[in-house]
Amino acid sequence: MAFRWKNDLTEAAVTPEHIYMNRRQWIAGAAAGLGLAGMGGTARAKEGALQPNEWDDITSYNNYYEFGTGKDDPARYADRLTTQPWTVKIDGMVERPADYTVEDIMAKMTIEDRLYRFRCVEAWSMVVPWNGFELADLLNMAGVQSGAKYVAFETALRPDEMPGVQFPVLDWPYVEGLRLDEAMHPLTIMTTGIYGRDIPNQNGAPLRLVVPWKYGFKSIKSIVRITLTDQEPPTSWNKANPREYGFYSNVNPTVDHPRWSQATERQIGGGLFAPRIPTKMFNGYEAEVASLYDGMDLTKNF
């Protein structure tokens, strides 16, 4: 039975596909006008606007450092990523550890359409219609042992296919993690598509995590391993800069990034002249997930 929640989004709120695919080009222009890097305080828009690009431009702007840090690098090189066959190792504190093929997984999962807000730590946002299945269903298929408390995720690391990993931008492979109750929450999904189409390689094919109340970098791409553990797992951006990127990474307008405010956000597609809008606590999913953090100081556990 599909999970139901009070969704105030409608189809009219969906970020248009060509703008979604072009979001990183928009960021490149917006960053110049907003002064995000090293400026501190609330960024303010300056004059200027960007128009949506055509398909060739749209698919050349992404952020997937394994293929390079340039915005056109993922689209230039991600076709090297072999996504068939694809295997996900599920191990650790599970009853049925195994190397599961995507076909094994998909045969047992119920694919749904989920219309979610997506909020980046860089203070932009959008609305995306994902296609995927609840992560809880996958974990239940593997059989979670009673002592498990966390779920660790790992991205593919293929130096022969990923030219960006020759540079120490991060400690490869890219890793992420959730507390078990976060992972088992019905809003947490594994996505296989966007707008009813397969996720392109540069966007995280063939399996990507989406946790809609957390900043986007928690949504790890191209997953090859899922490990159940009783210890908090390391996460890539937290290892790189723990002052700026906490383990939880919940969308919280009251906790600023050290270099910019998180109190407001700019919706992709609105143009640089559009007013910034207030950021919603837990990205608008407070009613569904706030209870997960009862009693926690979210300024310390950011």
Q: CATH number, domain at 166?
A: 3.90.420.10
208 carries a ligand binding annotation = yes
pLDDT for the residue numbered 9: 59
As for how many domains the chain has, the answer is: 1
User: For the segment 123-139, what is each residue's pLDDT rounded down to a tens digit?
Assistant: 888 777 789 999 999 99
58 carries a ligand binding annotation = no
Assigned domain for 6 exists: no
Q: pTM surpassing 0.95?
A: no
65 carries a ligand binding annotation = yes
215 carries a ligand binding annotation = no
pLDDT band, residue 42 (cuts 50/70/90): very low
245 carries a ligand binding annotation = no
Q: Are 72 and 58 in contact (CB under 8 A)?
A: no
pLDDT band, residue 2 (cuts 50/70/90): low
Assigned domain for 300 exists: no
203 carries a ligand binding annotation = yes
User: For the chain, what percentages of helix, strand and coil (3-state, to nearest 5) are there?
Assistant: 25, 25, 50
Assigned domain for 86 exists: yes
Assigned domain for 198 exists: yes
Assigned domain for 301 exists: no
Assigned domain for 172 exists: yes
Q: Are 203 and 62 in contact (CB under 8 A)?
A: yes
**DSSP of 45-69, one letter per residue?**
--S---PPP-HHHHTT----GGG-S
299 carries a ligand binding annotation = no
244 carries a ligand binding annotation = no
Q: How far apart are CA 149 and CA 131, in angstroms?
A: 27
Assigned domain for 276 exists: yes
What range defines the domain where residue 235 resides?
12-293
Assigned domain for 298 exists: no
220 carries a ligand binding annotation = yes
221 carries a ligand binding annotation = yes
